[in-house]
Structure 1
Amino acid sequence: MIDFIRGNVAHIESEYIVLDVRDVGYRVFTPSPFAFAGKQEAVTVYTHHHVREDAILLFGFANREEQRLFRQLLEVSGIGPRVALGILAGGRPEAVVAAVQQENIGFLTKLPGIGRKTAQRMILDLKDKLGALPAEGGLLGGAEPGSPSGADGGTAWQEAREALAALGYSQAELDRAWHGVKDEAEAASVEVLMKKALQHLFKG
């Protein structure tokens, strides 16, 4: 199993990044591809090597906490790799863990691909297995337990804005992008704001 890979970010798409590892490009699906934008040095991506009959896929994460939670989510009936990736794109790891431990079905059903029955299975299957996720500086990213990633529109937009700036967009372009996404900033994740902002910028 491939546990991590280290290389330079050669390409970024909305769902994945391509890592150049000694002249071999690895496509790695990740919750927040644009978080890797502007990285000039080699990066370490913690991976989950998923093998099925018709495909061999790599899913990658910025830290061990995301990797561990992703693997635990796969143990829940009805949650496959794509849904698990969507959960991590929609909620920070510590917020998802807190929601499961607090049996916060309202939060869980706001995550992509999660209905009420799946949320109930997550609580049943994971509540006693999930411990507190350690993070540098406390909670990962500073999100409050039980709050979706990006529920604080300012924080989500700040991260999205920094990623866009790393891609080379000017201050004026970023201000214009904000006007295109501000109505959704309260509830949207960083990933969603990035996609909406890029669509707005491409339209001119």
Structure 2
Amino acid sequence: MLMTKGRYIMYEYIKGLVTNIMPTYITVEAAGIGYHILVANPYDFEQSDQPIQVYLEQVIRENEHTLYGFTDLDSKRLFEKLLAVSGIGPKSALAILASNDHTGLVRAISEQDIAFLTKFPGIGKKTAQQIILDLQNKLTDLPFYGQTDLNDLPAAMEAQAKGIPNQALADALLALEALGYTKKQLQGIEKKLATQALTDTAAYVSAGLKLLQ
């Protein structure tokens, strides 16, 4: 069993059915066992009768045995690199990944853009400087490195759908709060989100992150 900085590397991924989606986690059932997995944006996943593959990172500490999940291997690798930064824990790393603008994140680190990094919850100037110091020359193996275009907002944000249930927005606000944004920050964007015709909770979360940043 390999141990590094308090982390035991035991699982690479899990294949199973998504049986539950909550603002802070998803449940994936595999071989009759339901796995509680924390993810950056639970609403990126859908409940279905078709199995999916979720990449995993397990964190074991004195009072914590937790699984973190990712839609692809590159996101997991970026999460691992963020965890290696002094002062960055799993919650902060997930909050950073939730924006889905991994290209912008990598570019900000490469260009020493502290202002970009301090927009994430829990990331102050000192921590932003530490991220740059620790990762500036360690991201060249990621596919996001060297790209120039920021990820666009999901197409769902532009859809002029009607009749979106308020529950979708409520769930999105809970998911954003779980990432570390304050109630005051969320109150500041709630009315703007409510005026947007979005198709689902994932779109609300993405739109909310854009407004917060």
Q: TM-score range by the shorter chain?
A: 0.7 to 0.9
Q: Which structure shows the higher helix fraction?
A: 1
Task: Count matched residues.
Answer: 173
- Over 3 Å counting, the alpha-carbon distance change for 1:44 and 1:74 in structure 2 is same
Deviation at 1:41, TM superposition (A): 1.1
**1:130 paired residue number:** 139
CA distance in 1, matches of 2:65, 2:58: 7
Residues 1-204 of structure 1: pairs in structure 2 closer than 5 A: 1-131=10-140, 133-134=142-143, 144-145=149-150, 155-156=153-154, 158=156, 171-174=161-164, 180-182=191-193, 193-194=204-205
Asked if structure 1 preserves the Cα contact closer than 8 Å seen for 2:21 and 2:47, the reply is: no
SS class of match (1:172): coil
Asked if structure 2 preserves the Cα contact closer than 8 Å seen for 1:9 and 1:18, the reply is: yes
Deviation at 1:36, TM superposition (A): 0.5
Deviation at 1:119, TM superposition (A): 0.5
- Over 3 Å counting, the alpha-carbon distance change for 1:196 and 1:95 in structure 2 is closer
Asked if structure 1 preserves the Cα contact closer than 8 Å seen for 2:82 and 2:88, the reply is: yes
CA deviation string 1:114-156 (max 9, x = no partner): 1111110000000011115327xx96xxx934xxx7xx6xx24
Deviation at 1:91, TM superposition (A): 4.4
**1:167 paired residue number:** none
Indicate the RMSD between aligned Cα atoms, in angstroms. 3.4
Asked if structure 2 preserves the Cα contact closer than 8 Å seen for 1:99 and 1:105, the reply is: yes
- Over 3 Å counting, the alpha-carbon distance change for 1:70 and 1:37 in structure 2 is same
Unaligned runs of 5+ in 1: 162-170, 198-204
Percent of aligned pairs with the same amino acid: 35
CA distance in 2, matches of 1:160, 1:52: 42
Unaligned runs of 5+ in 2: 1-9, 170-189, 209-213
SS class of match (1:18): strand
CA distance in 1, matches of 2:204, 2:131: 27
Deviation at 1:68, TM superposition (A): 0.3
Asked if structure 2 preserves the Cα contact closer than 8 Å seen for 1:46 and 1:67, the reply is: yes
- Over 3 Å counting, the alpha-carbon distance change for 1:79 and 1:192 in structure 2 is farther
